[in-house]
């Protein structure tokens, strides 16, 4: 193993060189290594358990691939900040992505291709641009309120994960592409049912010791191919529609109304090195990453608020004090929701749900805010930090604001009445959460409509 920050347990400790073969790790079997031990849906929990057994650096092997597991926040930060020069995305991600016939975007690209695409994507995610797209987010939030109000009036349980996925798909389609994809108002899942198949399949194939799909196509593989074809067609349509709008109205190049128009304007600059395939790759990346991660975070947040009544009460109080029109929070009002956004050795009570720890302060848990934010890196760090983090936070605050402003939560339940089960499918999601709401408004006598 070459000299690097990974050879030392902490940045201020003496440098200790170790060979990969000398590292501890779970015992594997010949040829397959640890492949038979991996349980993909709970891989994150396995890795955590092995960290307790083998320490912050340990080895794994899947077939011929040798993997180093790093479970120390200082070393992880060093790795993230040393990308893409010192560390890069696994080449297997790019290999499988292209093999699945998905256009390559900034998420999977490396090297010079990544650098060109990053400039284009960052132009679209500029905070000033995101703020100008805000009315589209308000419109989607209004549809979410309408959907949940109908469920509340009917006394129906809400499939929390499914509804939040609809919300994020509609938001990304509206803000990012200027497209009206109203899954919240439809009975079917439309594009969402196809998107939902891609990340889990990608995750399984990256971990697979043998590429069985190359020799035998199962019914699931064939369905995946059909879903990818549908998604690729939808993405190509978004790009074509945006180009048509920009040709009709050239002013959109200087004043784009959505992320896609901003990306196309940046891509069309001289010597950008970007073509429409790369634009399409980043449209797809926004759809996939913007759907799963944001919806999962919201689902966990709602579940944890329900389990912690004091935190829920404080969040409700903040929303109802700050937001004047519960159905349509403004950009400036969301900026004031500090507590909503806040929702061991390095971090006391690390497993406890304590949103206060993220708030700046001089006393109590808030005094740890600076250290906590350095330890927690939900959007990554360094040059490859998530370009959509600003939009994701805005989207999450909007969903929580309209939920707590318009409804009282009567229950958030799991299928078996116990702890929410974690399932890893590239992103980590809760399984089977159901929510029941009571509307705070008598819509028969209220003039507001949705």
Give the domain range for residue 42. 5-82
Residue 268 is assigned to a structural domain of this protein? yes
Task: Evaluate whether residue 447 is within a structural domain.
Answer: no
Q: Does residue 212 share a domain with residue 350?
A: yes
Contacts of 223-230 with CB under 8 Å at 24 or more apart are 223/197, 224/100, 224/197, 224/198, 225/101, 227/193, 227/194, 227/195, 227/197, 227/198, 228/100, 228/101, 228/102, 228/194, 228/198, 229/101, 230/191, 230/194
Phi/psi region, residue 16 (left: phi>0; alpha: psi -120 to 50; beta: rest), is: beta
Give residue-wise pLDDT tens across range 411-420: 999 999 988 9
Q: E strand or H helix at 100, and its extent?
A: none
pLDDT tens digits along 396-439:
999 999 999 999 999 999 999 988 999 988 788 899 999 999 99
Helix (H) or strand (E) holding 420: none
Q: Residue 16: phi, psi to the nearest 5?
A: -120, 120
Report pLDDT for 421. 92
Give the pLDDT of residue 66: 92
Say how many domains are in the chain. Answer: 2
**Could you tell me which residues come within 8 angstroms of residue 387 by beta carbon, excluding any fewer than 6 positions away?**
106, 118, 121, 122, 125
> Is residue 444 in some structural domain?
no
Predicted local confidence at residue 262, as pLDDT: 84
Q: Are 67 and 174 part of one and the same domain?
A: no
Question: Of 40, 61, 82, which residue constitutes the final position of a domain?
Answer: 82
Residue 326 dihedral angles phi and psi, to the nearest 5°: -60, -25
Q: SS3 for 65? A: strand
Encoding tokens for residue 383? 């040059």
| pLDDT tens per residue, range 93-119 | 999 999 999 998 888 888 888 888 888
Q: Are residues 77 and 220 located together in one domain of the fold?
A: no
Distance CA 322, CA 329 (A): 9
CA pair distance 350, 364, nearest whole angstrom: 15
Same domain, 23 and 169: no
The answer as to whether 450 is a domain residue is no
DSSP 209-257: SS-GGGT---HHHHHHHHHHHHHHHHHHHHHHHHHHHHHH-GGGGTS-S
Q: Is residue 192 part of a domain?
A: yes
173 in a domain, yes or no? Answer: yes
* pLDDT score at 11: 47
Q: Is residue 375 within 8 Å of residue 347, measured between CB atoms? A: yes
- CATH code, domain carrying 185: 1.10.630.10
pLDDT of residue 410: 97
Does 194 share its domain with 311?
A: yes
pLDDT tens, 370-386? 555 556 677 777 788 88
Question: Is residue 201 domain-resident?
Answer: yes
Alpha-carbon span 284 to 197, nearest angstrom: 13
**For 439, phi and psi rounded to 5 degrees?**
-70, 140
280 and 395 together in one domain = yes
Both 19 and 165 in one domain: the answer is: no
Structure tokens at 221: 């593989």
Q: Is residue 135 located within the same domain as residue 243?
A: yes
- The pLDDT assigned to 439 comes to 95
Residues 293 and 330 in one domain: yes
| pLDDT at residue 43, as a whole number | 92
- Residue 431 host element (H or E): none
Tokens of 14: 């003496």
User: Residue 12: its pLDDT value, please?
Assistant: 54
Would residue 216 count as lying in a domain? yes
The count of C-alpha atoms lying within 13 angstroms of the C-alpha of 352, restricted to the half-sphere facing its C-beta, is: 12
* Whether residues 50 and 130 fall in one domain: no
Q: Are residues 39 and 158 both part of a single domain?
A: no
Q: Does residue 115 sit in the same domain as residue 229? A: yes
Confidence (pLDDT) at 447: 42
Neighbours of 325 (CB within 10 A): 11
Q: Which strands make up the sheet holding 407-413, listed edge to edge? A: 158-159, 434-439, 407-413
The confidence score (pLDDT) of residue 431 equals 92
Residues of the chain with pLDDT under 70: 1-15, 186-190, 344-351, 357-358, 360-376, 442-450
DSSP 155: T
How many helices (H) does the chain have, and how many strands (E)?
17, 7
pTM value > 0.95: no
């Amino acid at each position: 193993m070459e000299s690097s920050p990974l050879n030392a347990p902490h940045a201020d400790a003496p440098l200790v060189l170790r060979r990969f073969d000398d590292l501890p790790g779970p015992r594997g079997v010949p040829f397959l290594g640890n492949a038979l031990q991996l349980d993909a849906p709970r891989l994150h929990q396995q890795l955590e358990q092995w960290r307790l057994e083998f320490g912050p650096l340990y080895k794994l092997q899947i077939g011929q691939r040798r993997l180093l597991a790093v479970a120390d926040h200082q070393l992880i930060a060093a790795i993230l900040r040393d990308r893409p020069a010192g560390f890069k995305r696994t080449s297997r991600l790019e290999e499988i992505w292209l093999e699945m016939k998905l256009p390559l975007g900034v998420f999977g690209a490396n090297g010079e291709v990544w650098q060109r695409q990053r400039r284009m994507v960052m132009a679209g995610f500029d905070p000033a641009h995101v703020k100008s797209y805000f009315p589209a987010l308000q419109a989607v939030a209004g549809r979410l309120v309408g959907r949940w109000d109908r469920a509340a009036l009917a006394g129906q349980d809400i499939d929390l994960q499914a509804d939040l996925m609809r919300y994020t798909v509609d938001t990304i389609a509206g803000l990012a592409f200027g497209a009206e994809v109203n899954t919240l108002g439809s009975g079917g899942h439309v594009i969402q049912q196809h998107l939902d198949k891609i990340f889990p399949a990608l995750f399984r194939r990256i971990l697979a010791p043998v590429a069985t799909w190359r020799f035998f196509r199962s019914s699931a593989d064939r369905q995946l191919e059909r879903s990818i074809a549908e998604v690729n067609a939808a993405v190509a349509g978004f790009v074509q529609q945006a180009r048509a709008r920009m040709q009709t109205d050239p002013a959109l190049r200087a004043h784009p109304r959505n992320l896609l128009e901003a990306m196309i304007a940046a891509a069309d600059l001289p010597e950008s090195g970007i073509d429409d395939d790369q634009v399409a790759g980043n449209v797809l990346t926004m759809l996939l990453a913007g759907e799963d991660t944001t919806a999962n975070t919201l689902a966990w947040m709602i579940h944890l608020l329900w389990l912690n009544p004091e935190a829920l009460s404080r969040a409700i109080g903040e929303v109802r004090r700050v937001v004047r029109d519960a159905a349509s929070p403004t950009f400036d009002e969301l900026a004031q929701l500090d507590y909503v956004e806040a929702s061991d050795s390095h971090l006391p009570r690390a497993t406890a749900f304590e949103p206060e720890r993220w708030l700046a302060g001089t006393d109590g848990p808030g005094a740890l805010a600076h250290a906590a934010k350095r330890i927690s890196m939900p959007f990554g760090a360094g040059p490859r930090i998530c370009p959509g983090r600003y939009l994701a936070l805005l989207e999450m605050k909007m969903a929580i604001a309209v939920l707590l402003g318009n409804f009282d939560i009567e229950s958030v339940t799991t299928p078996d009445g116990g702890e929410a089960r974690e399932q890893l499918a590239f992103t980590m999601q809760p399984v089977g959460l159901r929510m029941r709401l009571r509307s705070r408004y008598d819509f028969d006598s209220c003039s507001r409509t949705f």
